């Protein structure tokens, strides 16, 4: 199990740094399918791990003067307000529905990225 989690972490960290995705787009589906976590557990674990992933990537991007601190601060405030609401709602949703909704979001996002 530890080796699987390390592979998931490396893949998520690599893609987080390279593409700006990792926690939601990569880690959650891998935790559900490879580590046998329920959807809510995968979201919770991913959010805990992504804090460190995001910090490491932000430091690297910051060293190249790529981080807009004002923009990041505004996103932080909005995210800090929205995250508890989303987590509370997820705790009240059936795992199957959550998994399907998450999959639909990933599909819609992928289509949007392909078309723009």
Share of the chain above pLDDT 70, in %: 98
Dump pLDDT digits (tens) for 83-92. Answer: 999 999 988 9
Given this model, what pLDDT does residue 14 score?
Answer: 87
Q: Give CA–CA dist 114/108, Å, rounded.
A: 10
Average pLDDT over residues 96-113: 92
Question: Which residue has tokens 């929205």?
Answer: 82
Given this model, what pLDDT does residue 104 score?
Answer: 94
Band (pLDDT 50/70/90 cuts) for residue 111 is very high
Given this model, what pLDDT does residue 15 score?
Answer: 85
Give pTM, 2 decimals: 0.76
Residue 97 above 90 pLDDT?
Answer: yes
Q: Give CA–CA dist 71/45, Å, rounded.
A: 26
Cβ–Cβ < 8 Å for 20, 10: no
* Per-domain boundaries in the chain: 2-115
């Amino acid at each position: 199990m530890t080796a699987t989690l390390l592979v998931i972490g490396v893949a998520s960290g690599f893609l987080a740094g390279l593409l700006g995705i990792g926690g939601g787009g990569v880690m959650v589906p891998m935790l559900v399918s490879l580590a046998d976590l329920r959807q809510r557990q995968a979201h919770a674990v991913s959010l805990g791990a992504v804090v460190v992933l995001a910090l490491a990537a932000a430091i690297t991007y910051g060293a190249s003067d790529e981080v807009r601190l004002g923009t990041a601060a505004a996103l932080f405030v909005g995210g800090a307000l929205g995250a508890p609401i989303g987590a509370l709602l997820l705790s009240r949703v059936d795992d199957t529905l959550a998994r399907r909704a998450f999959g639909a979001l990933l599909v819609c996002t992928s289509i949007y990225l392909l078309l723009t």
